[in-house]
Amino acid sequence: QVHLVESGGGLVEPGGSLRLSCVVSGSTFSSNAMDWYRQTPGNQREYVAAITSTGSTNYADSVKGRFTISRDNAKNTVYLQMSSLKLEDTAVYYCAGHRGPTGYGLPNFWGQGTQVTVSS
């Protein structure tokens, strides 16, 4: 089984920064694309960012220029560096993985979610 364990969520003031981490086990991590999603109560889960097995990245328009997705294959870890945080960034953030290297379509595996709260 594939397991994704997230960490790094918390409370931060507007304009601040936070880095989320997701450690993946039970898969050939270096061959799998990874995503970050987020969700607020009563709303559908929203795509945030993606990174392919070769390091190509993609971002939702709402976070472009502020968030950076990266990966460290030696540590089986994907990161989401968030900066210039806004109140509307408050959500539960989910790490997600694909079975393939390109990350097309919906992800196949999900982490437990970690709460990010942006508040003054």
pLDDT band at 103 (very low <50, low <70, confident <90, very high): confident
pLDDT band at 26 (very low <50, low <70, confident <90, very high): confident
Over the chain, what is the mean pLDDT? 95
Average pLDDT, integer, range 71-82:
96
Q: φ and ψ at 32, to 5 degrees?
A: -115, 135
Q: What is the dihedral of CA 67, 52, 71, 58, to 10 degrees?
A: -10
Q: Alpha-carbon distance 80 to 78, whole Å?
A: 7
Q: Alpha-carbon distance 24 to 60, whole Å?
A: 23
pLDDT band at 31 (very low <50, low <70, confident <90, very high): confident
User: Number of H helices and number of E strands within the chain?
Assistant: 0, 11
